């Protein structure tokens, strides 16, 4: 074999070895990628989001009145509202947090007026326990419109709007609910009337010849209303049963306050606030019913303004 032939042979062998190495490397990388894909697929399966049906109670009462869960439509309507509220996790967790602060206030007013404690869940269904304003201009925890608020002795004007006053608006709601109970003989129907109004409910009673809520075909909002209230009751009274876990430190705490009596004019609430060691913002957080920077008070009414006991230090809840 000539020198040129030997050189050619050696080059060919070298190229063959390189080509074989490249093929082996490609196969190794491909195998590794396949293995990684299999592992990732398994991991994704483990992390897959899961949704489960909710457990319905065997028996249930609202304000001492039996909920007929043996009716398929009642059971399914409650199931629907429970599913919505259980899986709207962030919203429902906020309700649990707020309830810790506001339920004691509402429960106290209900108790004084002889109204069942379950009626506190109406405030949750109405406003999510916030001083919200609806598209129809219903205002506050109990969602009173202007005319109805005045009918129930709440003051509503540019400077004072007691629809934003949690205790006074709850008092007004108690009067309405007691009137409805006297009319229908049922707290469930009283609660329904709070949503649809007594005239609207009376019309359906006459039309359908029944005054039993669970037998009435009502508009979608009122038809869902009691079931939403029931779902809220079930979750807020036993949150862990439905997968919500919050320790005391996670809940919104009751902030101790004291009252300042005002029976005259306030020229500037920013200046007023500073006299009590707080600022305008904190004053309005504790007294959202004060709607202006001034209080002219032409009729010399007596108002009670809440001031946090520790002033601006109350914004640090580490001690509560």
Both 300 and 187 in one domain: the answer is no
Q: Would you state the structure tokens that stand for residue 239, as one six-digit string?
A: 């949150």
| pLDDT given at position 312 | 73
At 9 the pLDDT is 46
Domain boundary among 250, 277, 303: 250
Has residue 189 been placed in a domain?
yes
Domain membership of residue 4 (yes or no) is: no
Q: Are residues 228 and 96 in the same domain?
A: yes
Q: Show pLDDT as tens, one digit a residue, over the chain (320 residues).
A: 444 444 544 555 554 555 555 554 444 445 444 444 444 444 455 667 889 999 999 999 999 999 999 999 999 999 999 999 999 999 999 999 999 999 999 999 999 999 999 999 999 999 999 999 999 999 999 999 999 999 999 999 999 999 999 999 999 999 999 999 999 999 999 999 999 999 999 999 999 999 999 999 999 999 999 999 999 999 999 999 999 999 999 999 999 999 999 999 999 999 999 999 999 999 999 999 999 999 999 999 999 999 999 877 777 654 43
Are residues 307 and 214 part of one domain?
A: no
In a shared domain, residues 157 and 110 = yes
Same domain, 219 and 269: no
Choose among 192, 221, 234, 226: nearest CA to 74: 226
Q: Which residue has the tokens 């200046």?
A: 271
Q: Which domain holds residue 108?
A: 61-250
Same domain, 117 and 167: yes
Residue with tokens 């109405």: 126
Q: Are residues 218 and 72 in the same domain?
A: yes
Position 20 in a domain: no
Domain contains 174:
yes
Contact indicator for 156, 165 with CB cutoff of 8 Å? no
State the pLDDT at residue 310: 85
Q: What is the 3-state secondary structure (H, E, C) of 181-228?
A: HHHHCCHHHHHHHHHHCHHHHHHHHHHHCCCCHHHCCCCHHHHHHHHH
- Residue 44: the pLDDT is 54
Asked if residue 1 belongs to a domain, the reply is no
Q: Domain with 146 in it: what CATH number?
A: 1.10.530.10
Tell me the CA end-to-end span of the chain in Å, nearest whole number.
98
Q: What is the pLDDT of residue 45?
A: 54
> In a 10 Å sphere around its CB, with 0-12 CB exposed, 13-18 middle and 19+ buried, how is residue 69 labelled?
middle
What is residue 64's DSSP assignment? T
pLDDT for the residue 205: 98
- Residue listed under structure tokens 């008070």: 297
Question: What local confidence, expressed as pLDDT, does residue 48 receive?
Answer: 78
Total domains in the chain come to 2
Shared domain check, 264 and 128: no
| Spatial contact of 103 and 120, defined as CB atoms under 8 Å apart | yes
Residue 298: inside a domain? yes
Burial 276-292 (b: 16+ CB within 10 A, else e): bebeeebbbebbebbee
What are the C-alpha distances in Å from 206 to residues 74, 202, 203, 209? Answer: 22, 6, 5, 5
Instruction: Check residue 59 and give its pLDDT.
Output: 98
Residue 252: per-residue pLDDT: 97
What pLDDT score does 40 carry?
Answer: 44
Examine the fold and report which residue of 250, 268, 296 is the final residue of a domain before the chain moves on: 250
User: Are 299 and 158 found together in one domain?
Assistant: no
For residues 78 and 180, membership in a common domain is answered with yes
Based on the fold, state whether residues 217 and 271 are members of the same structural domain: no
- Clarify whether residues 298 and 188 are in a common domain: no
* Residue 8 within any structural domain of the chain: no
pLDDT value at position 319?
45
Cα(72)–Cα(75) distance, rounded to whole angstroms? 5
In this prediction, residue 132 carries a pLDDT of 95
Q: Which of 250, 276, 299 is the last residue of a domain?
A: 250
Is 205 inside any structural domain? yes
């Amino acid at each position: 074999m000539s020198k040129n032939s030997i050189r050619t042979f050696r080059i060919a062998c070298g190229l063959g070895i390189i080509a074989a190495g490249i093929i082996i490397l490609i196969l190794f990388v491909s195998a590794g990628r396949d293995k990684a894909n299999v592992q990732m697929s398994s991991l994704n399966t483990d992390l897959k989001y899961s949704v489960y049906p909710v457990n319905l109670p065997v028996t249930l009462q609202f304000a001492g009145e039996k909920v007929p869960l043996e009716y398929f439509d009642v059971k399914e309507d409650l199931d629907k509202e429970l599913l919505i509220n259980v899986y709207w996790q962030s919203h429902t967790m906020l309700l649990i947090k707020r309830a810790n602060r506001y339920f004691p206030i509402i429960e106290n007013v209900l108790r004084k007026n002889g109204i069942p404690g379950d009626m506190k869940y109406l405030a949750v269904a109405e406003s999510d326990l916030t001083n919200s304003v609806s598209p129809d201009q219903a205002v506050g925890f109990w969602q009173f419109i202007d005319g109805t608020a005045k009918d129930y002795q709440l003051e509503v004007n540019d400077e004072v709007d007691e629809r934003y006053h949690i205790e006074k608006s709850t008092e007004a709601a108690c009067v309405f609910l007691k009137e409805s109970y006297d009319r229908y003989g049922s707290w469930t129907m009283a609660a329904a009337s709070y949503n649809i109004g007594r005239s609207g409910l009376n019309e359906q009673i006459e039309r359908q010849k029944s005054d039993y809520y669970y037998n009435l075909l009502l508009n979608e909002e009122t038809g869902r209303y009691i079931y939403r209230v029931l779902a809220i009751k079930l979750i807020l009274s036993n949150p862990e049963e439905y997968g919500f876990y919050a320790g005391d430190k996670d809940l919104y705490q009751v902030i101790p306050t004291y009252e300042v009596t005002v029976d005259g004019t306030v020229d500037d609430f920013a200046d007023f606030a500073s006299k009590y060691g707080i600022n305008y913002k904190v004053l309005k957080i504790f007294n959202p019913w004060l709607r202006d920077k001034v209080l002219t008070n032409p009729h010399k009414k007596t108002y009670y303004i809440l001031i946090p006991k520790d002033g601006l230090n109350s914004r640090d809840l580490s001690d509560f």
